[in-house]
Structure 1
Amino acid sequence: MTVKFKFYSWSVSLYSGKARAYLIKQHIDFDDISPAEPHYDAVIRPAIGRWIIPVMETPNDEIVQDGVDIIDWFESRDMARLPAYPQTPRHLIASLIMEFFGGEGLLRPAMHYRWNFDEDNLDFILQQFGLFAMPQLAPEERRDMALHASGRMRKAAVMFGVTPDTMPHIEAAYEETMAEFDAHFAAQPYLLGGAPTIGDYGLFAALYAHLGRDPHPLAMMQNRAQMLFRWTERMRNPSSDMVEFIGRDESLLGDDHVPETLKTLLRRVASDYLPEIEAMIAMSNDWLAENQPAPDEVVGGESLGRGIGMCQFEWRGETLSVVVMPYRIFMLQRIQDAYDALDNAGRAEVDALLDETGLRRLITTRCHR
């Protein structure tokens, strides 16, 4: 009997969705397993040092934690049916930018639409959180414990900049973004043509677990952005699922072409996320100068508090105060490292794309460490 990969996750988990979609699309034989299983507390948690999902356990008992590391585990072993990282410069950088935006830049609407629409969402969310976290308990006990735990997540939403003053702007921006995604997926099955890339997996994190599964934002997507909704279905299907795209195969767009609809989405990153990135890097560089951590010291590695402080920036006429998490610097540096590895011709092609979409500062805004 074939020994499967074990994937410890929840369906409600934003970051679990990224890695799960990859496993599905690559036809990896795996089982979804609850971290409530005794093996998690006995083996997985001590090995990692804290409770966290997603985690993958390989058939050889290797433990891999974090969606990026899970994906890269397969990519580095040439086990990908459809490689996540494009080989051409514009496609690669555009895909990495959208990965960053999906997992981090869309957290504000993801948290807002999950935790501020209780009339539509709360019963579903409490049932789901209780079911996945404590399946051994009676339903009423699960609900009570989930309700208590939800207070921490509501506070986290505020740390990401969700306040009564910013909510109207978050909603306006997300409705615009949703329409832009809808226009793109009306023209392309995936971000870059007929196969998913790392950008699709990153976007799926927020656009499914929160925004495409919780009742209120799901209804919004189904009513206003049906082609975006179709993409969320496609990303959960082991087949290419391109029935509405007659004649398309599982290949990326030729000639490193970035379609206009994707350029529109890159401009959205520039308008809605770049100001926060710049403020985050400025605050982080100040923190590094003040605290002088040792070269091998982990910054922001505490199990229950991975932020190192707050930063402020202007967005749509409001001053937002948000938590600064070093993990986001890691995600930004993935883009910058890929750019740095390009040859001169590749950088010139990417520079032209970034200039056109207002994202050149994404490459030049760098952490001192």
Structure 2
Amino acid sequence: MADKVRARMVERLWYVGSNEINAPQIEQGFAEMLDLLERHLSVRPYLFGHRPAYGDFGLWGQLYELWTDPTAGALIEGRAPHVLAWIHRMLWPRAEGEFELWPELSLTLMPILTRQVGALFMPWTLANEQALAGQRDVFSVQLGDFTWTQKPQKYHARSLAMLRGKYAFLHDRSRLDVVLEEIGCLAGLQPRPT
């Protein structure tokens, strides 16, 4: 059974973008995210202040799994003590106060949103969407100084469509649009022609 699981997961590495071409980007992006998140969580217990939010739960699952890996876990433990404390705190999350206001949050959250979401995730997810629409088996996209190459993922195209739907549902987007424009995500959330 272990051989079957191992074979299945090893074959999926290329599918999810884990390959020799992308390895330096994965390592650099992880280290940068740890540094940015460490700074952000050094002054608050949760992403948006003193109580957990959807963002905490979404990000925590990924970082918890990374922490259980010996290599990534050692990096977290040696480089990001506040991230590690947050990972532990999220095992039993609880409200410890109120959410913070944007002017205070933005000081350390904007670098995360700009560098990780706007500069990396949004161009990647748009390229993934275009690859699926063009029925390509593999796509490449320039992310900073690197070219990222992988097979397209239907799940992420559906996730992008859901994000667009949630964005379109908002009645007053004026303040949100300012932030989305600044981080480089506003254009990607606009409806696509069918």
TM-score range, shorter chain: 0.7 to 0.9
* AA partner of residue 189 (structure 2): I
Of 53, 56, 63, which aligns to 1:207?
63
Pick from 80, 95, 100: which aligns with 1:225?
80
1:277 and 2:125 matched? yes
Distance 2:94 2:185 in 1: 34
Q: Kindly tell me: are residues 280 and 223 of structure 1, through their superposed partners in 2, closer, same or farther at Cα, counting changes over 3 Å?
A: same
Checking the alignment, whether the CA contact within 8 Å between 1:329 and 1:367 is kept in structure 2 is no
Report what 2:177 is aligned to.
Answer: 351
Measure how far apart 1:226 and its partner are.
0.7
What secondary structure is seen at the aligned counterpart in 2 of 1:313?
A: strand
Structure 2 counterpart of 1:265, one-letter code = I
| SS, match of residue 68 in structure 2 | coil
Q: 1:260 to 1:335 in 2, by over 3 A?
A: farther
Deviates more, 1:224-233 or 1:158-167: 158-167
| Alignment partner of 1:311 is 2:139 | yes
AA aligned to 1:275 is P
Q: Which amino acid aligns with 2:77?
A: Q
Q: Residue 155 in 1 paired to residue 11 in 2?
A: yes
Mapping of residues 1-369 of structure 1, within 5 Å: 145-209=1-65, 211-240=66-95, 249-254=96-101, 258-267=105-114, 268-287=116-135, 309-343=137-171, 346-364=172-190, 366=192, 368=194
Task: Quote the offset at 1:192 in angstroms.
Answer: 0.9
Q: Distance in 1 between matches of 2:9 and 2:193?
A: 28
- Alpha-carbon distance change, 261 to 212 in structure 1, aligned in 2, over 3 angstroms: same
* 1:312–1:322 contact (8 Å) kept in structure 2: yes
The gaps in structure 2 that reach 5 residues or longer are none
1:160 to partner: Cα distance: 2.0
Counterpart amino acid of 2:64? Y
Q: 1:156 to 1:216 in 2, by over 3 A?
A: same
3-state SS of 1:273 partner: helix
Flag the 1:250–1:362 CA change in 2: closer, same or farther, 3 A.
farther
TM-score, normalized by length of structure 1?
0.48
- Alignment size in residue pairs: 193
In structure 2, give the amino acid aligned to 1:286: G
* Cα displacement (A) at 1:229: 0.8
If asked which structure has higher relative contact order (CA below 8 Å, sep 6+), I would say 2
Contact in 2 for aligned 1:278/1:365 (Cα 8 Å): no
Equivalent pair of 2:34/2:80 in contact (CA under 8 Å): yes
Per the alignment, residue 293 of structure 1 pairs with none
The CA distance in 2 between the partners of 1:266 and 1:331, in whole Å, is: 18
Deviation at 1:338, TM superposition (A): 2.0
Deviation of residue 365 (structure 1)? 6.5
**TM-score calculated relative to the size of structure 2:** 0.87
Instruction: Determine if contact 1:281/1:366 at 8 Å carries over to the other structure.
Output: no
Deviations, residues 331-360 of structure 1 (Å, cap 9, x unaligned): 2233222221222xx311111001221222
Deviation at 1:148, TM superposition (A): 4.1
Alpha-carbon RMSD across the aligned residues, in angstroms, is 2.3
TM-aligned CA deviation for residue 147 of structure 1? 4.0
CA distance in 2 between counterparts of 1:367 and 1:174 reads 34
Distance 1:253 1:322 in 2: 38
Distance 1:279 1:218, change over 3 A: same
Judged with a 3 Å threshold, the aligned counterparts in structure 2 of structure 1 residues 207 and 366 are, in CA distance, closer, same or farther, namely: farther
Q: Is 2:14–2:151's contact at 8 Å kept on the other side of the alignment?
A: no
Structure 1 residues 275, 208: closer, same or farther in 2, change over 3 A? Answer: same
Q: CA deviation at 1:316?
A: 4.2
Q: Which string of whole-angstrom CA distances, capped at 9 and with x for unpartnered residues, describes residues 26-57 of structure 1? A: xxxxxxxxxxxxxxxxxxxxxxxxxxxxxxxx
How much does 1:269 deviate?
Answer: 1.0
Any idea what the Cα deviations from partners look like across 1:142-169, whole Å, max 9, x if unmatched? xxx3244212212211222222232122
Q: Which has the larger radius of gyration?
A: 1
In terms of fraction of residues, the more helix-rich structure is: 2
CA distance in 2, matches of 1:238, 1:360: 31
- Three-state SS of the structure 2 residue aligned to 1:203 is helix
> Which residue of the partner structure matches residue 80 of structure 1?
none
